[in-house]
Structure 1
């Protein structure tokens, strides 16, 4: 019995269809993988926030969670550390240099608390309350790119009652910073440091005679930076890798242009994390 084979044209059509299906499958897989990565990041952030709130209530003190950028060993890939730090009463009141007396709180990492991380190009942002514009989203610096405008350190502050607040009511502080290595030296960049002695007095020429550029001290200029924290009552978890592909980072001439593009992307694509205004618990 004669059996008809496939023609060359038929084989080509089948191969083209298989290639299209394979391509669609790859695209679908990448989308699913990205969604899973975002979901895992949101869960990690939520777990860290829940932990920080529990510590604040248990120890009856102010506790903050900050989202600190770090580089892997080869210095080319960034991940985010979720550092939980507490206020042990260390504050300093000092003259800014223009006659105004400001109060600065020093927080330190809570001992024996897991430092969670998120990776895979995911980042966390908060509204830019430091400039009085809560329609703009702030995110930390992208450390692998050394020639880009700097980003800011974002944090969520819990009161001893577990509520989300933006200021330490006990000290009335104007600024909060986290002393990651507990050396009483606040590192701003490779050349600028603020030295705090055991008597909680700022002993740096930063205070006098010139008025410092306070705004710049929110910037994460190097990996070791310990800038002031921009407290926020809402967070946005977003795919920074996708954001950077959607825009041209080389076109960012300053922080404002960077924040503008980040804000556009975050408004359209980020997962929000919000808090109960009375209890401080994460809304799930």
Structure 2
């Protein structure tokens, strides 16, 4: 994806237009960010969230049509589906996570020497949208972070998750971008983004979700173009590699429906819980 095009699109639509941005084809990196200069913010403490949900925490089927999805992550994907009330989305989230992070919960794109373009993307996202959204306590840190977590969220948009629906009551405005590395928080960002796509764009089939995940313009002016078809093809190939059958209507309907969405704050409570009072 041309990151400059995506940031331009994000600026034109605003976070309120698309509910955040998730960038695709990321790779996990174990390198470290350069040490902050005295003028930069020191990375803030990150609260510990509850551990991954267990089988006993969800009602859904954890054995059928999951392929090679890690067993410990399946309850999280099912919890996302159940809390967000988007039937059939659990396995779609699994295929997306496979592409974005290969299921590495601490995947970080922008912390390696060769990933300056990723940091530049998050910087542009922050600079181009900070005046139209509530302030972020750790905005400068998010701007230089890049993207990461299970679903490859770009840090500033992750922290603005929920702003289109609840404004300055969005729950992550005071948080550090490193909260992305906690699976429940990443799951919250991804669930909200899924709902925004399903609500605001024409989604003809399951593969169209991944096109919008890569860039919402592919569900508008870019629909039917080369990039649109390339993203769809990669998503379908990922599903085959993961051994998830997207045509199995007993687990995934032909189209996802977010009309029963319970609201951002309810989804946050169900997936993340409550943040410490000094951070919330």
Q: Same fold (TM over 0.5)?
A: no
- Larger Rg belongs to: 1
TM-score for both structures, normalised by structure 1: 0.24
- Structure (1/2) with the larger helix percentage: 2
Structure possessing the higher relative contact order (Cα contacts under 8 Å, 6 or more residues apart): 2
- Structure (1/2) with the larger strand percentage: 1
